């Protein structure tokens, strides 16, 4: 499916949407996702891909705020349920990191932008605390675009490390990313966190 870069007027129209309007226009995510993995919107939607592109390649703060508001609504509901039935309390929100090389090329990590807005809107002490330094990506992995699930998992193997294992020992974690496809990135990050002592890991993305 080809993607045409958004025109200025389309970007302005996107930026002017309220969270409720975006939810009406953007189809919800569907399809199988791994256990404890959530996504809001269907990535096949042109509007959703436009929003992700603006966030990822332009660091668009208005779009980040729009998407974060939608994430916060779903996250608050999910955390309330998990607190009641799964003792998922006092979680740490951790954005999926990018490599140093990718950060130099792009200038930012789009998921950190989302996490920053989420923290401002609903972070500690309301729902979670946010930490950008615990999980690091130590390998500049190849593009995942044309790889199947097994190839994605192999490509990502041992690409993350934990900088402060004492901070996550026995703690619940929320992993955040912009897009989840097969779930391979979340799976490798979850494995790394659990191996370092995290209690439970919930993963959430804007789109699938």
Give the range with max mean pLDDT: 91-95, 96-100, 181-185.
91-95
Residue 35 inside a domain? The answer is yes
Tell me the pTM.
Answer: 0.89
Closest by CA position to 22, among listed 55, 89, 174, 79: 55
Residue 9's pLDDT band (cuts 50, 70, 90)? confident
Q: Could you read off the pLDDT of 149-167 as tens digits, one per residue?
A: 676 666 678 899 999 999 9
Q: Please tell me the predicted confidence (pLDDT) of residue 140.
A: 76
**Strand 92-95 to strand 129-130: parallel, antiparallel, or no bridges (unpaired)?**
parallel
Please state the three-class secondary structure of 114-125 as a single string.
HHHHHHHHHECC
pLDDT band at 135 (very low <50, low <70, confident <90, very high): very high
Residue span of the structural domain in which 181 resides: 8-207
Task: Kindly indicate the confidence band of residue 197, based on its pLDDT and cuts at 50, 70 and 90.
Answer: very high
Residue 50 maps to a domain: yes
**What tokens were used for 159?**
């690409």
Please give the Cα distance from 61 to 112 (Å, whole number).
11
Q: Residue 129, preceding bond cis, omega within 30 degrees?
A: no
Answer whether residue 122 is part of any domain.
yes
| Number of domains present in the structure of the chain | 1
45-94: pLDDT as tens digits: 999 999 999 999 999 999 999 999 999 999 999 999 999 999 999 999 99
**180 part of a folded domain:** yes
> 136 lies in a domain?
yes
Q: Which long-range contacts (CB under 8 A, 24 or more apart) does 124-130 make?
A: 127/75, 127/76, 127/79, 127/91, 128/79, 128/90, 128/91, 128/92, 128/93, 128/174, 129/90, 129/91, 129/92, 129/93, 130/92, 130/93, 130/94
> Is the residue at 3 inside a domain?
no
pLDDT at 139: 85
Give the domain CATH number at 180. 3.40.50
């Amino acid at each position: 499916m080809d993607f045409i870069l958004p025109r200025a007027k389309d970007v302005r129209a996107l930026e002017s949407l309220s969270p409720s309007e975006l939810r009406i226009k953007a189809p919800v995510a569907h399809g199988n996702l791994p256990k404890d993995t959530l996504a809001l919107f269907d990535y096949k939607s042109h509007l959703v891909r436009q929003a992700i592109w603006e966030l990822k390649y332009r660091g668009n703060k208005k779009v980040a705020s729009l998407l974060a508001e939608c994430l916060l609504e779903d996250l608050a509901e999910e955390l309330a349920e998990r607190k009641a039935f799964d003792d998922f309390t006092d979680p740490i929100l951790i954005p999926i990191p990018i490599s140093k090389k990718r950060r130099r090329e792009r200038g930012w990590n789009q998921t950190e932008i989302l996490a920053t807005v989420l923290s401002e809107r609903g972070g500690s002490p309301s729902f979670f605390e946010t930490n950008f330094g615990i999980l690091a990506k130590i390998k500049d992995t190849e593009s995942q675009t044309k790889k199947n699930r097994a190839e994605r998992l192999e490509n990502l193997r041992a690409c993350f490390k934990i900088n402060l294992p004492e901070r996550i020992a026995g703690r619940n974690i929320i992993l955040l990313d912009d897009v989840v496809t097969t779930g391979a990135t979340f799976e490798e990050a979850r494995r790394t966190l659990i191996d370092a002592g995290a209690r439970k890991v919930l993963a959430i993305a804007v789109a699938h």
